[in-house]
Amino acid sequence: MTGPWPPTSRTVRDRGVIDFLQLTVAGLSAGSAYGLVAVGFVTIHSVTGIINLAQGEFAMVAAFVAIALLAAGLPLPIAALLAVLVVALGAAAVERVAIAPAAGSSVVAYIMLTLGVSITLKASALLIEGPQPSALPAFTPGILSFGGVLVRPQDLWILAATAVAALGLYGFLERTVTGKAFRACAEQPTAARLVGISPSRMSTLSFVLAGVVGAVAGVASSPVIQTDWNIGLFLGLKGFVAASLGGLASIPAAIAGGLLLGVVESLGAFYISSGLRDAIAFFVLIVVLVARPSGVFSTHAGVRAGVRAH
């Protein structure tokens, strides 16, 4: 246990604390991306009942669009925002072209349609971008040290982007008429129709919102995870687990599920076994599904409350 770490002045106990904090930071950073993707699952599922298997691909496409715009000479912030916009519109187009025409189909058929969208997006990315990964540059280069805990500025950017996207979504759903209509459609579809809310419009809107949060996740995390054509599967799986931890019904619970999953993975990889990192996520999911099918954060089991913004 000798070596360049820790510096000789530190005790082993200090090192244990620093390691723990270091792992937690890494887990929160990864978990933020999971959480945002999870929010995308929740917004679409709450209104339409569909599990959108292309959710991870929204993140992948957004990162590639941002990389292309940056390469075309646009400044990074503009490229990032445009990428989010493009994916939001693209998600709306997906809903119009692939989902809406199948109105009245069974949920399984819808899920298969989203699987088709996912495969199409992946194959297109492979054809256009090739198999090699690429990445946005870190928004802020360098490394920060907080009492020995080393933090990449990009980790803070990811946390901030998650906070902004989540609060923005919260504000939209709580404070705007359209947002309230969206929630009404999720919670009481029949009553919502009776008061004149179009389920079809809300379905499109759910894809737009999912596109936005997925795109934010993809763009913010690109500098640290490396975007390739297949990264959507990874993000989609982890996001789905996070959404399930939150019961697939609540936006705050989805974010919390993502953060929890990220931290559990990170700590488990160090304290249990690095080889079990991915297994830990699915083990947690199975336990939760068996013990608390409505999610770890739900206050009373057995209630699906649609998109609860609080």
User: Residues 74, 76, 98, 237: which binds another protein (CB under 8 A)?
Assistant: 237
- Distances, alpha carbon 97 to alpha carbons 2, 102, 107, in Å: 61, 9, 17
Size of the site for another protein (CB under 8 A): 64
If the CB atoms of residues 49 and 171 are measured against another protein, the closer one turns out to be 49
User: Which span sits near another protein by CB under 8 A: 59-67, 76-84, 193-201, 227-235?
Assistant: 227-235
User: Residues 269, 284, 307, 309: which binds another protein (CB under 8 A)?
Assistant: 269
- Residue 144 pairs in a beta bridge with 151
Q: Residue 148's Cα: distance from chain center in Å?
A: 29
Q: In the bound complex, what is the minimum distance in angstroms from residue 91's beta carbon to another protein?
A: 19
Q: Which two tokens stand for residue 17?
A: 């604390």
Please tell me whether residue 23 binds another protein under the rule CB under 8 A.
Answer: yes
Please tell me whether residue 303 binds another protein under the rule CB under 8 A.
Answer: yes
If the CB atoms of residues 204 and 227 are measured against another protein, the closer one turns out to be 227
Please tell me whether residue 147 binds another protein under the rule CB under 8 A.
Answer: no
Distance CA 47, CA 67 (A): 32
Q: In the bound complex, what is the minimum distance in angstroms from residue 235's beta carbon to another protein?
A: 9
Distance CA 121, CA 216 (A): 18
Please tell me whether residue 270 binds another protein under the rule CB under 8 A.
Answer: yes
275 Cβ contact list (under 8 Å, min separation 6): none
Q: Is the dihedral of CA 42, 47, 48, 54 positive or negative?
A: negative
Query: For the window 104-143, what string marks contact with another protein as x by the rule CB under 8 A?
Result: ---xx--x---x----------x---xxxxxx-------x
If the CB atoms of residues 133 and 199 are measured against another protein, the closer one turns out to be 133
Q: In the bound complex, what is the minimum distance in angstroms from residue 140's beta carbon to another protein?
A: 13
């919102």: which residue's tokens?
A: 209
Q: In the bound complex, what is the minimum distance in angstroms from residue 33's beta carbon to another protein?
A: 9
Distance CA 115, CA 274 (A): 31
Please tell me whether residue 70 binds another protein under the rule CB under 8 A.
Answer: no
Please tell me whether residue 152 binds another protein under the rule CB under 8 A.
Answer: yes
Please tell me whether residue 302 binds another protein under the rule CB under 8 A.
Answer: yes
Q: In the bound complex, what is the minimum distance in angstroms from residue 160's beta carbon to another protein?
A: 19
Query: For the window 30-59, what string marks contact with another protein as x by the rule CB under 8 A?
Result: x------------------x-x-x------
Closest by CA position to 170, among listed 227, 255, 66:
255
Task: Give 191's Cβ-side CA count (13 Å radius).
Answer: 7
Q: Residue 65's Cα: distance from chain center in Å?
A: 18
Distance CA 209, CA 252 (A): 15
Q: Which two tokens stand for residue 68?
A: 């292309």
Residues 56-86, buried b or exposed e (16+ Cβ, 10 A)?
A: bbbbbbbbbbbbbbbeeebeeeebbbbbbeb
Distance CA 285, CA 261 (A): 9
Which helix (H) or strand (E) segment is 150 a member of? strand 149-151
If the CB atoms of residues 195 and 290 are measured against another protein, the closer one turns out to be 290
Please tell me whether residue 5 binds another protein under the rule CB under 8 A.
Answer: yes
Give residues in contact with another protein (CB under 8 A): 1-5, 15, 19, 22-23, 25-26, 29-30, 49, 51, 53, 107-108, 111, 115, 126, 130-135, 143, 150, 152, 224-226, 228, 230-231, 233-234, 236-237, 240, 244, 247-249, 265-267, 269-270, 273-275, 277-278, 282, 285, 289, 293-294, 301-304
